[in-house]
Structures are given as C-alpha cells and as structure tokens.
Amino acid sequence: MIVAHNLWNVSFLSLLEFQAVILSPPALLIFSLSSWISLRHLWKWNPYDEIKRHLFQIFLLTFLGLLLLAQWLMSSNLTLVAMFKQYGIVLVLVGLAVGIYLLRAQMAEKEYGSSYRAILQDRVERKRAETLFVEDQGPLRTLLDALPEYIFVKDCKSRFVLNNLAHIKELGASSQEELIGKTDFDIFPESLAYQYYTAEQQILQTRQPMINHEEMTIDPDGNPHWLLTSKVPLHDKHGQVIGLVGTSRDITKRKQDEEKLHELCQAVETMQLGVTITDLKGTIIYTNPAEARMHGYPVEELLGKDLGIFAPVGFRRPMTIEQINSMKHLRQSINIKKDGSIFPVRLMSDVIRDVSGKPAAIITTCEDISVYRRTAEKLRQHTRELFLLNKLSDKLQLCEQEEETYHIIVDICKKLFPAESGCLCIQHPATNAMNVVAYWDEQGQEVLSEHWSTELLSRWILEKSSTFCPRQRYASHAECLSVPIVASGEILGLISICLVQEAANNTKQEVETKRIALNRVAKHYALALANLRLREKLRIESIQDPLTGLYNRRYMEESLKREAFRAKRHGSQVGIIMLDVDHFKSFNDLHGHHIGDSVLHELGEFLHTRIRGEDIACRYGGEEFLLILPEASLETARQRAEELRVELQNLKIMAQGKQFHIAISLGVAAFPNHHSDIMQTVDAADMALYRAKALGRNQVAVAT
C-alpha cells in the first residue's frame, strides 16, 4: 500500500471501481483506521459501508475544516495561518469528496438497486479469494503445476482464481492470466457450464463438499472426456466462505473400459453360447441364461451347484491343480439335461487368474452341437464320397492294366455302399461280350462271375430302367440300382448294387443319394477306363520318371495344384518334403553314372514303398525328390521326413554286386502354413533343404 503523508495528496482514486486507494493520515483519521493498513486488509474494506458508519465524524471534521479556514482568514499569526489554511483546506476537500461520493452512490443505488452494491461487494469478494494465494505461492505453485490432476480455485461467483498447469492446458489456455476472472460459461457450452455452475453454487450455499463426482467435460477440440471431480468450500481465517477448491482426474479410459465391460456383460447375458464360471472346486458361481436354458434349468437353480450336474455318470472327473494350470483346450463331450436327455456339446475352458497369477476360477463355454453333428455327418459322408472318388481317380491313374481297375471299383463301391451287394460288368473289346468281372455280397466278399451280352445291357439303357441287375439271378432283392459306364457314347460296362431287405425303409432321398453316388463312380471309371485303353502307355510315359519309377515333374505340378485345391476346399493341409542325396555328384564321379542311376532307382523304389497310398513321390530333378503328403500337418510331415532319413541311412543298396550306403538331407514345409501359393510352399521346402545341407547334411530342416 502506498500511504501519502503529504497532506495535499489526500484523495480517493477510482472509489467506484475500488482498484486502488491512496490515503493520508487525515483521511485515515476520518475513518478511524490505522495509518498503516496492509493491502490484504484494505481488500476486505468496503468504503461505502465504512463512510456511512462514520458519517457523523465526516460532517464534524468537515465543519472543523470550515472553522480552520475561518481562523486562517482572521488570524494574524503567520505560523497558525499556514497551519489553519493547510488543515482547513484538507478537511473541507475530504468532506466535499465524501459528500460527492455518497451522492453518486445514492443515485446509483436508486437507479440500479442492489446491483450497484453487488458490483462493489463482488469485487471485494474476488479480491478476498485471491489474497489467499498471493502470499508465498512460489513453492506451492511449483507443487501444483507438477501434479497431473487438474486443480483449480474459484470465487463465490464461480470465476477462476487459480489453476494449475495441467488444468490450464486442459482448458486450452496458454497462461494463468487468460483464465483469471473467467467462468465456465466463457469456456464450455452453455448447457454444460450451467451444470457446473448449479453444482458449485449448491456447494457454496450448503457448505457441503462434493467428493468423487463423475462429470462430463469437453476439451478444446470438442472431444468429450470424463472427470472424477471433488469440490470443497474455501474458507478464510474467519470461517467465511470465499470460494471453492476443486480437483479433477481424467477417467475417460476407465469409463471406456467400464463401457466395454458392460457391453461384454450384456453380450454374455444375451449370447446363445452357454457360459459358466466355477471356482477351483467346480462350484458354479455364474452361468448365463443360454447355459441354463440349454440344460433345462433356471439360472438361480444352478448357482452353488457342482458343475457335474451337467455331466452324465462317468463323464465328470475332478481335476488336479496341475491340470487346472494347464487348462486351455477345446473339446467335445456329452452333457445331460434336467429331464435326463443327453446331447453333444463343444466345450472351451480357460483359467481366470488373480493379480498374482494364481488360478482363481475356471470359465467354460458350452455349445449345443446336435444340429452341427447331424450336418457334419452329412458333410462328412459327402466329403468321404468325394475323397473316395478322388482316391479312385488317383488309383485308376496308377493302374497299368485294365484288370487292375476291377478290384479298385469293387473296393470303392464297398466303401460307399457297405450294406449292399453288387457287381461290375465290363465289355470285352475283342468279343463285344459283357463280362461280369466281379461282384461282392453283403459281407464284402469279392467274387468273379459269368458273361452277359451287350445286347441285354443295351436294352436296359433304352428302356431307362434301373431295376435290372445281373445279381438278381443270385439274390431275391426287392430293388436294384444300376448305372452304365459310358464314354463318348460307347458302352464300356455296368455297375449295379442291390439294396438289402433291411433297407426297404430307405427314403426316396436316400435312394436318390445312392444313385447319384453310384453314377459318379461310373463316370469316373468310364473316363479312366477309356483313357487306359486308348492311351495307357502314353499316360505312363507322361507321368512317370523312367529311371526311378516315381512321378515326374509334370505330374508333380499337376498333383500340387490338385492337392492345393482339395486342401482349400476341405480346409486341410498339404505336407511338402524336398529331399536330396548328399554328395551325389562326388558319388557319380567316384563310381560312375551307371552306379548313380542304380542308386536313384533304388531310392525311388524305397520312397514308393515307404509313403502312404495317397502320398505322391516325385522326382524333382537330378538327385532331388519331392514328396506330397495330402492332409498332413507340418509336424506330421517333419516326423515322416525324419523316419525316411533314418530308414534310408540304414538301407543297403546293391548295384552291380556292390553294396552302397547313401544319406539324404530333407526340407519340410506345409501348405498353406508357409504360403498361400503351393508352388511358393515348394520353394520354401527347397530353401529348408539348402539350410539342412548348410548345417552339415543328413538332417531334416523345417521351413521358417
């Protein structure tokens, strides 16, 4: 505060706005105040009320000033004249100033009512709130600015008095000065600011704090945020409420997590998949409506029950803690309903762990797969038929003579129609006679039979009758299914099956399904038989390597494409093994190419006898070979490669009376694990082969 001791400087500056006050000792005497008033006490002083309380003293001193002026005019003492003049003028001027101020105040109060006094009181209150943070705020300010929480102070009109650095940034301001005196209405949308204002005024009026209140806010970019806010009334040392202090913490992430958790709970409650949570002893502590409905129970009845209530006798087995710790698997089982009926289910279990990582509970999902089982059975049957037909094609391609195809057709028919008997008739190209080359009974026994004329078969085709079957001569079956083997309009034979008497209750759809399957067999066989008759030797030359007896590279590429298509259709895998004879060039240089060819031939025989029927062994080029393993996983292919390596290492190869031993390096890959293009998968196996050689040969390497 600036105190003017010069009597001529007695004045009030900006009394109405009350931004600053300069007082001299006479003025302080007028208002009965100390001559040294600190700034914080002055901010608590309302001059209007103070003047009205000392109105008598003001008039008295003004009158005294007039007397002093009169004495000045009449006195002849020069010292007293100067003193009378000085104090008299001061007192009169003060009285006039106060009178003018009171007059203005009275006029303003009449015109604006209580708002005028509110303006003055408002400014005083704001100053009082600010003063609490003016002194010694250096360390405190540093501490507040270092905190990540939003901290702010407001006066009784909800205007900002203080904000820490985090809150300043949150409000989009660059400094504290930008926020001083502003309200939420200057920053937020009106509706949001009104909510803040209403809540804060209630706190100030009731003097009751608001603790951990969740409220929505909006950042300067317009993005909504959630805050956890606490606001408490702020008191001065006299206990008077002068504002409030607030602290907020951004809980947007928590609210988002809570919303996700709520959505997850809603999803679990409404999903059709059963969900059950049990403790480690198997006691049900939660189950969703789908699980209860699936088993015919109300949810309340299942809570607290043992999980074994879902399992038939013999299916429920207690688990050890080691089994619980390792539990995370998908399995199929049989469950029992409340009414005692059983149904197939697919179960998936996992362990719920506490914060220390120890098992706390087990969550299990349950799906009724009754419909799936029926559909899967039909699909399995259809897939099996396609698989057998594909195997039929593969086997027919391997046949060198026509007679070799007969037992293949009988074998496929016995697998497709295990409960029926049937026969295979083939037209002899030379005699044009229809030979019943094979038939089988209900027990699957294969029997050769007699000849039938082509004329009889042609008559059946013309009449479009499917009830004719040569086997009717040997059995009294009520119904037969027969389809011709026709290629390019030429009748090559006939396939017939006789339905057993127990199958008389077969539906028309089931009979039609069998007829379609039989027709597919006939079409596959017709094409194979025609090609075999017309191009047998040419076919062998085009698909087999003459030296090793294995398939050549051309057939390998065709097989790769075919197996890739089949794997994509069935959702299976194709294992690829690339192998190479170690140090074969040195072997040839040492023993000669004729010995090397003998070794390759023996190696081809070895591979041909060691692979599965559906596997395809090919000579890739030189001393490199490729094995195609349909429906084999990467691990299965690796194990098979290791078995081949060990067996071949112990194999004795005889050539020109000499005994030789060879070793191989193998690279393994799987389609579509390593690449969606099967040729790229072959390249991956080739790269693995080179890595096996680089690591020392005579080993198996898996593609990365």
Antiparallel, parallel or unpaired: β 616-621 and 624-630 = antiparallel
pTM of the model: 0.37
Which pLDDT band, with edges at 50, 70 and 90, does 43 fall under?
A: very low
- Sheet containing 359-368, strands listed edge to edge, beginning at the edge strand earlier in sequence: 284-287, 274-278, 359-368, 342-353, 328-336
Residue 131 lies in a domain: no
Residue 266 lies in a domain: no
**Domain match, 172 and 243 both:** yes
Query: For the domain that residue 191 is a member of, what is the CATH number?
Result: 3.30.450.20
**Domain match, 31 and 159 both:** no
Burial group, residue 71, by CB count within 10 angstroms (0-12, 13-18, 19+): middle
**Domain match, 561 and 643 both:** yes
**Domain match, 76 and 217 both:** no
Please write the tens of the pLDDT for every residue from 467-505. Answer: 445 544 444 445 778 888 998 888 888 888 887 654 445
- Indicate the number of domains in the chain: 5
Beta-ladder partners of 244: 154, 233
Q: Among the listed ranges 143-147, 209-213, 438-442, 613-617, which one has the minimum average pLDDT value? A: 438-442
The answer to whether the beta carbons of residues 421 and 498 sit under 8 Å apart is yes
**Domain match, 490 and 553 both:** no
From 255, 289, 317, the end of a domain falls on: 255
Residue 265 lies in a domain: no
- How high is the pLDDT of residue 86? 63
- How high is the pLDDT of residue 220? 86
| Residue 648 to residue 668: CA distance in whole angstroms | 17
- How high is the pLDDT of residue 64? 67
Residue 130 lies in a domain: no
Backbone CA torsion sign across 561, 564, 568, 569: positive
**Domain match, 246 and 284 both:** no
Residue 2 lies in a domain: no
**Domain match, 557 and 452 both:** no
Strands (DSSP E) along 549-591, which ranges? Answer: 574-581
Give residues with Cβ within 8 angstroms of 143, minimum separation 6.
none
**Domain match, 586 and 658 both:** yes
Residue 411 lies in a domain: yes
Q: Which domain holds residue 698?
A: 544-702
**Domain match, 381 and 500 both:** yes
Own/partner contacts of 683-686, CB < 8 Å, gap of 24 or more, are: 684/576, 685/576, 685/577, 685/578, 685/626, 686/578
From 255, 280, 296, the end of a domain falls on: 255
**Domain match, 532 and 571 both:** no
Residue 554 lies in a domain: yes
**Domain match, 402 and 550 both:** no
Q: Give the position of tokens 């698989």.
A: 387
**Domain match, 196 and 339 both:** no
Query: For the domain that residue 575 is a member of, what is the CATH number?
Result: 3.30.70.270
Residue 262 lies in a domain: no
* Residue 689 or residue 28, greater confidence: 689
Residue 541 designated active-site? no
Structure tokens at 320: 């050890």
Point out the catalytic residue in the list 403, 541, 623, 624: 623
From 335, 368, 401, the end of a domain falls on: 368
CA 165 to chain centre: 37
| Residue 40 to residue 52: CA distance in whole angstroms | 22
Given a cut of 70, whether residue 245 has pLDDT beyond it is: yes
Q: String of b and e for 470-480 (b: at least 16 CB within 10 Å)?
A: bbeeeeebebb
Please write the tens of the pLDDT for every residue from 132-167. Answer: 554 445 677 888 888 899 999 999 999 999 999 999
**C-alpha Rg value of the chain to the nearest Å:** 51
Antiparallel, parallel or unpaired: β 664-671 and 700-702 = parallel
| Residue 172 to residue 218: CA distance in whole angstroms | 11
CB atoms within 10 A of CB 559: 21
